[in-house]
Amino acid sequence: MNNAKRYDRIAFVASPSAEAQSALAQLTAMYGNLPVDDSDVVVALGGDGLMLQTLHAHMRTGKPIYGMHRGTVGFLMNEYSTHDLRERLASARESLINPLLMRATDIHGAVHLHHAINEVALFRQTYQVSKLRILIDEHERMPELMADGILVATPAGSTAYNLSAQGPILPINAALLALTPISAFRPRRWRGALLPNSAFVVIEVIEGEKRPVAAVADHDEVRDVRRVEILSDKTIAMRMLFDPGHSLEERILREQFGT
């Protein structure tokens, strides 16, 4: 199969920034800009925020997505260049990403479903520390965690908020999830856990009326939750494209060595 042919038809998306919009105009003039439904590949111009939005928007299409850095943070993006784009796309390497599915039940009994590519995080909503009960595969593993919150991160999201919360960096191909507390108060020395990506994680909020908690799947927030269920959604596999030598796996390795 001729890989270059597969990527002849390109759909561009761009963030609102002047830098990204200028790149959009230039690339559209050079390569055209088809609707996503008629394209072979989606090229996202911006930063990691735009990449997450693009992955969410096209999560179920099966379209490969290739990012070029025209924004602030570009961990998920390739270097920007207008030259030989179709050739770059043809030689790019593919990383498959399974999102997390969050099922959050609020204090009124309403159920909210959202996907997350980076992480699902629970946060205290007020000055009072949250109290959380943690169950893994229907077994109680921690009867009470007192903390600002907790998060479950994918390998793709392990270098984002998870890393800032002192969580582990996960190789992109690792069949793992990171369970990381946010400013744990008790047990104070608990640093979290590595879970198989088949794990069914349940976090229950203790004293929810007194200590309200919000749950966030990437950018989708549900407030006043009482129970949050999290699992890796194997029915969805997103295809991200990276230049040779700049794959997501390589970037995660470099991050672990501070390079």
Question: Could you give the CA distance from residue 124 to residue 190 in angstroms, rounded to a whole number?
Answer: 18
Residues 34 and 73 in one domain: yes
SS3 string, the chain, reads CCHHHHCCCEEEEECCCHHHHHHHHHHHHHHCCCCHHHCCEEEEEECHHHHHHHHHHCCCCCCCEEEEECCCCCCCCECCCCCCHHHHHHHCEEEEECCEEEEEEECCCCEEEEEECCEEEEEECCCCCEEEEEEECCEEEEEEEEEEEEEEECCCCCCCHHHHCCCCCCCCCCCEEEEEEEEEEECCCCCCEEEECCCCEEEEEECCCCCCEEEEECCEEECCEEEEEEEECCCCCEEEEECCCCCHHHHHHHHHCCC
Residue 3 pLDDT = 41
Say if residues 151 and 118 touch (Cβ distance below 8 Å): no
Question: Does the annotation count 224 as an active-site position?
Answer: no
Once rounded to an integer, what is the mean pLDDT over residues 78-94? Answer: 94
Residue 171 pLDDT = 83
Q: What is the pLDDT of residues 2-49, one digit of tens each?
A: 344 478 999 999 999 999 999 999 999 999 999 999 999 999 999 999
Q: Which residue in 37, 40, 48, 224 is the catalytic one? A: 48
β-bridge pairing 130-136 and 201-206: antiparallel
Question: Could you give the CA distance from residue 46 to residue 17 in angstroms, rounded to a whole number?
Answer: 8
Task: Give the rounded percent of residues in the chain with a pLDDT score beyond 70.
Answer: 96
Residues 117 and 218 in one domain: yes
Q: Which residue has the higher pLDDT, 131 or 169?
A: 131
Residue 258 pLDDT = 65
Residue 84 pLDDT = 94
Return binding residues.
48-49, 118-119, 148, 156, 159-164
Residues 220 and 244 in one domain: no
Residues 81 and 114 in one domain: no
Q: Note down the domain range covering 247.
A: 3-97+236-256
Residue keyed to tokens 């003039």? 29
Residues 147 and 252 in one domain: no
Residue 72 pLDDT = 82
pTM value surpassing 0.75: yes
Residues 111 and 154 in one domain: yes
Residues 184 and 214 in one domain: yes
172 CB-near residues (< 8 Å, 6+ apart): 95, 155, 156, 247, 248, 249, 252
Question: Could you give the CA distance from residue 152 to residue 256 in angstroms, rounded to a whole number?
Answer: 19
Return binding residues for NAD(+).
48-49, 118-119, 148, 156, 159-164
Residues 140 and 196 in one domain: yes
Residue 2 pLDDT = 39
Residue keyed to tokens 């609020």? 106
Question: Could you give the CA distance from residue 169 to residue 255 in angstroms, rounded to a whole number?
Answer: 8
Residue 191 pLDDT = 93
Q: Which of 246, 29, 240 is nearest to 117 (CA)?
A: 240
**How high does pLDDT run on average in the chain?**
92
Question: How many domains is the chain partitioned into structurally?
Answer: 2
Q: How confident is the model at residue 174 (pLDDT cuts 50, 70, 90)?
A: confident
Residues 155 and 252 in one domain: no
Q: How confident is the model at residue 73 (pLDDT cuts 50, 70, 90)?
A: confident
Q: What is the pLDDT of residues 109-135, one digit of tens each?
A: 999 999 999 999 999 999 999 999 999
Say if residues 137 and 200 touch (Cβ distance below 8 Å): yes
